[in-house]
Structure 1
Amino acid sequence: MEIAANDQAQVKIPVFRNRNFLLLFIGALFSSPGYFVYLIGAEWLMLSLSDNRFYFGMLFFAASIPRLLLLTVGGIVADRFNKRTILFLSDLTRACLILMLLFFLVNDLVTVWHLIILAALFGISDAFSYPVINSLTPIILEEDQLQRGNSLIQMTGQISPILGPALGGTLIAVLGFEGVFIAAFIMLLLASITVLFIRIKKEETGNTKQSAWLDLKEGYHYARKNELVISIVSMAFFLNFFFSGPLAIGLPILVKDIFHGDAVSLATVQTAMGIGALLGAIVLASITLKKPGIAMVGGLIGLGLLYTSVGFTGHLYLTAGLVALMAFTMQLVNIPLITMLQKTTEKKMLGRMMSFLMTVSTGLVPVSFVATSLLIAAGVEMQTIIIVSGIIITLIALYNLKNKNILTFK
């Protein structure tokens, strides 16, 4: 349903004929790939500026810490102010940051610390934009359109890690660093302009009458009283802790040490993951899950079993196939999870609930990285870490087979 300035009842229209959603989708098509184009440029520029790989790691650390610390604040802001404006300012800010980097680059002034500070500022921007995207969708779509809408937005996120690095790498080879950052700037600028035309009812943009601290307490108490919210957020916490770190760190190690592969081998596995995730998003955009809770738990069981299998395989292409299937089943978990949370949350609380979810999912990924790194440093084999993590994920899924709040959700 298109959100207009009047209160007249409107006939439900298809997702892609919904002006507001179409603008949000087009904005995401520019914003997400634009970020990955910038990221590949920043990574290669950092590697070119210094042989010290500590600085390269700091790029990711600098972005993740502000994101972790400020996601909850971003959720409060999303519930108090116009979500469209927040998304517009987030994309515009990132475009301006890239423009600043271009100035330093053209004048031969750029250093590793410029890139690290820029990464931290990007992390701050992410903390405010992440809760908005998932809390804006339920406002501009009907409830029974949320699964398809979420799938389409997720699709842009799955295309980006494939399209962004490919486009960015080509631009670096042809036009140099200036070319790749100009392209990223243009894409993020177009994203900001696109979302500026989204229209939301004034009464659905939140209020600023009470303090931010009271907003935070209100969100915390709301989450505690909602058993489904607790179940979903807890599942997201354990899933990301046992999945993100071991997978991100483990795949390159498996490719190099077990399969004795090269960069092309790693790209093969990572591309398979992107394709699997993209296909999963496409399938879920095409169908309607009558029992999303059952689909989510079933997908989580499949994910755990496939993840465990990766630890036992010793063949590159078999691993690539398993990873593709994992990414596909991951969408069976992620998209219903987000949709269920959106459907059961009051619109005035969406920003805070989404920020809680994003905090435990993306915000705690660095903790998973550290834990995995410490286990490796202690002499634990990567295959063992993956196998144990896969078993734990499977057990978590089996435990949720008795969770009626999830299984009976329609």
Structure 2
Amino acid sequence: MTTAETELPESATTPACRDGNVLRWLTAHTASLVGDSVYFVALAWSAQKAAGPTEVGLVLAAGALPRAILMLGGGVLADRVDPRRVILGSDALRCVLILSVAAAIALTAPALWLLVAVALVFGAVDALFVPAIGALPPRITGPDQLARVTGMRSLSVRLSQIAGPPLGGLAMGLGGEAATFAVAGLLFALSLPLLLTIRMRPLGTRTEEQPEPGTAREDLLGGLRYIRRHPLIGPLVAAGAVCELGLIGTLNVGMVLLNAERGWGPSGYGFIISGFGAGAAASAALLTVAGWLPRAGLMLSGTLLLCCAGAATVALVPTLWIAVVLAVVIGSSAGLFGSLNSTLVQTAADPACLGRVTSVVMLTMVGLAPLSYPLVGAAIGAWGAAPVFVGCGTFAVLGVAVTLSSGAVRRAELPRKRPA
């Protein structure tokens, strides 16, 4: 539990964009995200130097296994312990781990066994970090600021995706693998003093829907029942899972194969991915500036439908520039859907259950969604890109049906700041 000196008063209503507490958290989170990107550059290039292409895939996939297996347990821990402490502990572990690897590689050439071990440990620590970071926003700001915080966090993710790989490449060119791992470790270290200064809001009173605390296993099962029975959170989590399963494979794997099929080449792929990123960043900026959007539940369903339609038709267009425009539409609608989904879940959930709720959401992204990658690749190899994109987009429309069939989702609204 937090001490009285670090608690944030319940009445605090400072706008998130001017709230020093939120900005310290955002800066720490951004440093950690950039560190993640630099770490993956270091890991991939070290694996490529130590072995062949197959081993590179093995090393990069090694971290996903413990992350998927332990994610739900990380959610339980985030709810049983102060999530800030979990974040501090996991970030400190990542810092020590990566700096130790940097020192080891500086003394000797990177070995495949060492890289696999690092990926496994890093993935296990990430399974603790991700649910805790998802449980933190409602404890550092008021409900009326959660939409704005979600937009700010999305912008932070986009910034890290833009800045991280070039920074990792620069470190690799100047100092090699050891220097790149060291830069990643120092970025993790940078986030620690900022996280220490964050003040926390009290949890509030227990509700009837909130499961009673028990053993770790009972907490896990109670959290799953809580999600299934909640009239708003259950459909939102289900819709998000369907969306991830239907669209992520086509966007991550199918888009590469579509470019090869159409002869647009690496530059065409770059334009499409940049369009997607620009659209997602624009939607995050909209939510950051506005802080509130009307009829959030219906808007969520509409943006998901638009995203599905764009993903289904992008393989049917004849020219690259139309595909880029569709990528902007897909990115902006997917970004807005994801932000609204996350904000509504965080607003509706009991803070004491947010770690478990976040862990289930993230499990669909890092555990279940990647399972579609080989299926999408094999299907495109057998039937071509167009029917697979149409089929996956059509499957993802089931998520729209889930949201529209729920009265709680259709009526859902973002909280607004009450006038003084």
| Cα deviation code 1:348-369 (max 9, x no counterpart) | 1111111111112332122122
The unaligned stretches of length 5 or more in structure 2 are: 414-420
| Cα deviation code 1:96-138 (max 9, x no counterpart) | 2211221221112411222222122221122111111121101
- Alpha-carbon spacing, 1:252–1:7, altered in 2? closer, same or farther (3 Å): closer
- Alpha-carbon spacing, 1:400–1:347, altered in 2? closer, same or farther (3 Å): closer
Give the partner amino acid of 2:169: G
Matched residue, 2:304: 300
- Alpha-carbon spacing, 1:177–1:8, altered in 2? closer, same or farther (3 Å): closer
CA shift, 1:203, in A, is 6.2
Question: C-alpha distance in 1, partners of 2:199/2:375?
Answer: 44
What's the secondary structure of 2:265's corresponding residue? Answer: coil
Matched residue, 1:383: 386
What's the secondary structure of 1:198's corresponding residue? Answer: coil
Describe how 1:96-245 pairs up with structure 2 within 5 A.
96-200=96-200, 210-245=214-249
Give the partner amino acid of 1:92: A
Question: C-alpha distance in 1, partners of 2:65/2:159?
Answer: 25
Question: C-alpha distance in 2, partners of 1:349/1:395?
Answer: 27
Overall identity of the aligned pairs, in %: 24
Matched residue, 1:257: 261
Question: C-alpha distance in 2, partners of 1:376/1:268?
Answer: 21
Whether the 8 Å CA contact 1:259–1:316 is kept in 2: the answer is no
- Alpha-carbon spacing, 1:146–1:7, altered in 2? closer, same or farther (3 Å): closer
Give the partner amino acid of 1:26: T
Matched residue, 1:324: 328
Matched residue, 1:71: 71
| Cα deviation code 1:196-215 (max 9, x no counterpart) | 222336767x9997311121
Matched residue, 1:20: 21
Whether the 8 Å CA contact 1:259–1:315 is kept in 2: the answer is no
The answer to which of 321-330 and 302-311 deviates more is: 321-330
Matched residue, 2:416: none
Question: C-alpha distance in 1, partners of 2:212/2:360?
Answer: 20
- Alpha-carbon spacing, 1:6–1:57, altered in 2? closer, same or farther (3 Å): closer
Give the alignment's TM-score, normalised by structure 2: 0.90
Question: C-alpha distance in 2, partners of 1:374/1:273?
Answer: 24
| Cα deviation code 1:73-112 (max 9, x no counterpart) | 0110000111111111122212222112212211124112
Question: C-alpha distance in 2, partners of 1:196/1:409?
Answer: 35
Question: C-alpha distance in 2, partners of 1:341/1:135?
Answer: 11
| Cα deviation code 1:121-177 (max 9, x no counterpart) | 221122111111121101111111100011111211122222111222222223332
Give the partner amino acid of 2:409: I
Whether the 8 Å CA contact 2:246–2:392 is kept in 1: the answer is yes
Matched residue, 2:417: none
Question: C-alpha distance in 2, partners of 1:399/1:212?
Answer: 30
Question: C-alpha distance in 2, partners of 1:7/1:145?
Answer: 14
Question: C-alpha distance in 2, partners of 1:324/1:7?
Answer: 39
CA RMSD of aligned residues (A): 2.4
Describe how 1:318-397 pairs up with structure 2 within 5 A.
318-376=322-380, 379-397=382-400
1:406 is the counterpart of 2:409: yes
Whether the 8 Å CA contact 2:75–2:131 is kept in 1: the answer is yes
Give the partner amino acid of 1:261: G
- Alpha-carbon spacing, 1:48–1:226, altered in 2? closer, same or farther (3 Å): same
Question: C-alpha distance in 2, partners of 1:59/1:280?
Answer: 34
| Cα deviation code 1:229-259 (max 9, x no counterpart) | 2201110111001111122111111222322
- Alpha-carbon spacing, 1:185–1:154, altered in 2? closer, same or farther (3 Å): same
Whether the 8 Å CA contact 1:49–1:111 is kept in 2: the answer is yes
Whether the 8 Å CA contact 1:89–1:192 is kept in 2: the answer is no
What's the secondary structure of 1:289's corresponding residue? Answer: coil
Question: C-alpha distance in 1, partners of 2:212/2:60?
Answer: 34
CA shift, 1:308, in A, is 1.2
Whether the 8 Å CA contact 1:74–1:131 is kept in 2: the answer is yes
Question: C-alpha distance in 1, partners of 2:338/2:10?
Answer: 32
Give the alignment's TM-score, normalised by structure 1: 0.92
Matched residue, 1:87: 87
- Alpha-carbon spacing, 1:351–1:246, altered in 2? closer, same or farther (3 Å): same
CA shift, 1:9, in A, is 5.7
Whether the 8 Å CA contact 1:299–1:330 is kept in 2: the answer is yes
Matched residue, 2:60: 60
| Cα deviation code 1:278-321 (max 9, x no counterpart) | 12111111111122111110100110111112111243333222
Question: C-alpha distance in 1, partners of 2:60/2:250?
Answer: 16
Whether the 8 Å CA contact 1:63–1:121 is kept in 2: the answer is yes
Matched residue, 1:315: 319
- Alpha-carbon spacing, 1:118–1:399, altered in 2? closer, same or farther (3 Å): same
| Cα deviation code 1:355-406 (max 9, x no counterpart) | 11111233212212233244346x1323321121112223542563343211
**Count of residue pairs brought into register by the alignment:** 405
Question: C-alpha distance in 1, partners of 2:138/2:357?
Answer: 13
CA shift, 1:49, in A, is 2.2
Question: C-alpha distance in 2, partners of 1:23/1:214?
Answer: 34
